[in-house]
Amino acid sequence: MRIECPACGAAYEVPEHLLTRPDGTPARPVRCLRCAREWQPAAPAPEAPAAAAPLEAAAAGPTVPHPVLPARHAAPVQLQPGPAPLRTVRQEGGLAPPLLAWAGSLALLALVLAILVLQREAVMAAWPPAAHLFRALGLH
C-alpha cells in the first residue's frame, strides 16, 4: 500500500498487513522518516469489481508502476519486547572448582618452568636463541 506523509509529501510503500487489523480498521499511527510527523494512514479503499478495472485502465492510458521503496524507507514499525534474557545457572559447589582449576594450571606452569631452568644446557643446545633468555635472567 502506498502512503504519503501529509506534512512533507514523502511517499512510502508499506505492506497493507502492517497498517490494518484483520477487520480492516487502522492498526497504528506511522511516523515520517523525513519530517518525523506522526499520522494515521487512511484505510485502503475497497477493491473495485474486476470487470470495471480494464475499462478504467484503458481510459487512463498506459500506467507507470510506482517503484517499490527499499525497506529503509518503509514506515517504522514499533517492535514488541523480545523474550527475557537468559539467566546463568550457578553450579553447585561455589568457587572451589574454578579456584582448584587455576591452582592446577599455575602448578603445571611452574613445573614446566622448573624443568626448563634445570635442563637449560639441553635447551640451549637444542635452541641456541634460548641462551639470550637465560643470560638475561642471569641463569647462564
Contact between residue 3 and residue 11 where contact means Cβ atoms under 8 Å apart: yes
pLDDT > 90 fraction of the chain, expressed in percent and rounded: 29
pTM: 0.34
What is the torsion angle, in degrees rounded to the nearest 10, for the CA atoms of residue 98, residue 103, residue 105 and residue 109?
A: 160
Q: No. of H helices and E strands in the chain?
A: 5, 4
- The Cα 120–Cα 127 span in angstroms is 10
What pLDDT sits at residue 78? 59
Cell of 38: 506522526
Strands 11-13 and 30-31: unpaired
pLDDT at 136 over 80: yes
Domain boundaries, the chain: 2-73, 96-136
Kindly indicate the confidence band of residue 24, based on its pLDDT and cuts at 50, 70 and 90: confident
